[in-house]
Structure 1
Amino acid sequence: MRSNLSILAGLVLLLGAAACGPLPVYYRQGAEVSRLRSDELSCQAQSLKDAPVANEIRQHPPVFYPGRKVCHGGDCYYHPGYWVEGSIYTVDVNKPLRKRLERSCMAAKGYQQIALKRCTRRTAPVVPPGARLAPLTEAACAQRNRDGSIIIRPGS
């Protein structure tokens, strides 16, 4: 039980840290935002076709907690050690390949993957039809919307 709690706590910390770190985005200066989204979707679909989800069920190794000696009022006794089963988890073994295929497809379309800091404001601007990706500045940032789309703010 104790190992499951420590794994869960580590996962929560990792997810919290990932939400604060840079956001990977595809970028090509002057590209239409609608074209970027279309290209990204087609590359994701093609990479999923070429490297479909292949989940494998795995298990962390069991953990042994050794016994300990407890003394109280001059009397000592031993708590025996015990084993805790490792937790079971699922891994998509094709995910790294799928990401490489997606990056390669986007590169063939002229995009490069960059990491932008996350925007501090959570208001997504309305993207007008025909909007293009502006040149980036030091103040550039990106935000992920609830629908999974990403907005790039070029900065001022």
Structure 2
Amino acid sequence: MRKPHRLHLFCVGLLALASCGPLPVYYRSGADQTRINSDTLICEVKSLKEAPVANQIRQRPPIFYPPVQQCHGGNCWTRPGYWVDGGTYTVDVNAGLRARLEQSCMAQKGYQRVELPRCSADQVAALSGKPGSDGLSEASCALRQKNGSTIILPPL
């Protein structure tokens, strides 16, 4: 029974690491944040229409834990083996196609996809009031807003 618990802890840790990694954003020299977010939304909606969500339910194979014999003080007993359900999960089979369609749409509008480091709270405070530059710099970072849009700091 301990192995599935370890798997869950591993997955939570992996998700925590993923939220610290770079943030993919679209960038086009001379485009302001409002325009980038507007074009991104247009391409997201277009790709969703062309490759709608197509969820499939899949099942992992069951796991068998073999019997274990334990002895203590000359007395032995055997804990019988048992099966644990592997569980089910859902896969959107169109997710990859949808992402490619979105990237193609953004490329047609002149954007390139770049990965920027995520902004820390200190960077947000330090960079949010500074005037923008024409292009990305070493100090550029990305911030995901609650509504799902992305901001590149310092402002472009």
Can you give the 5+ residue segments of structure 1 that lack an aligned partner in the other structure?
none
In structure 2, C-alpha distance between the alignment counterparts of 1:40 and 1:139, rounded to whole Å = 23
Map of 2:16 onto structure 1: 16
Percent same amino acid at aligned positions?
A: 55
Cα distance, 1:67 vs structure 2: 1.1
State yes or no: 1:5 paired with 2:5: yes
In structure 2, C-alpha distance between the alignment counterparts of 1:89 and 1:133, rounded to whole Å = 45
In structure 2, C-alpha distance between the alignment counterparts of 1:120 and 1:132, rounded to whole Å = 18
Q: How many residues align?
A: 151
Computed over aligned residues only, the root mean square deviation of the Cα atoms, in angstroms, reads: 2.2
In structure 2, C-alpha distance between the alignment counterparts of 1:132 and 1:45, rounded to whole Å = 29
What does the per-residue CA deviation read over 1:53-100, in whole Å, with 9 as the maximum and x for residues that have no partner? 000001111001111110010111211111001111111110010000
Can you give the 5+ residue segments of structure 2 that lack an aligned partner in the other structure?
none
Map of 1:55 onto structure 2: 55
In structure 2, C-alpha distance between the alignment counterparts of 1:24 and 1:93, rounded to whole Å = 21
Cα distance, 1:149 vs structure 2: 1.3
Structure-2-length-normalised TM-score:
0.87
Matches within 5 A, 1:105-144: 105-121=105-121, 123=124, 125=128, 134-144=134-144
Map of 1:28 onto structure 2: 28
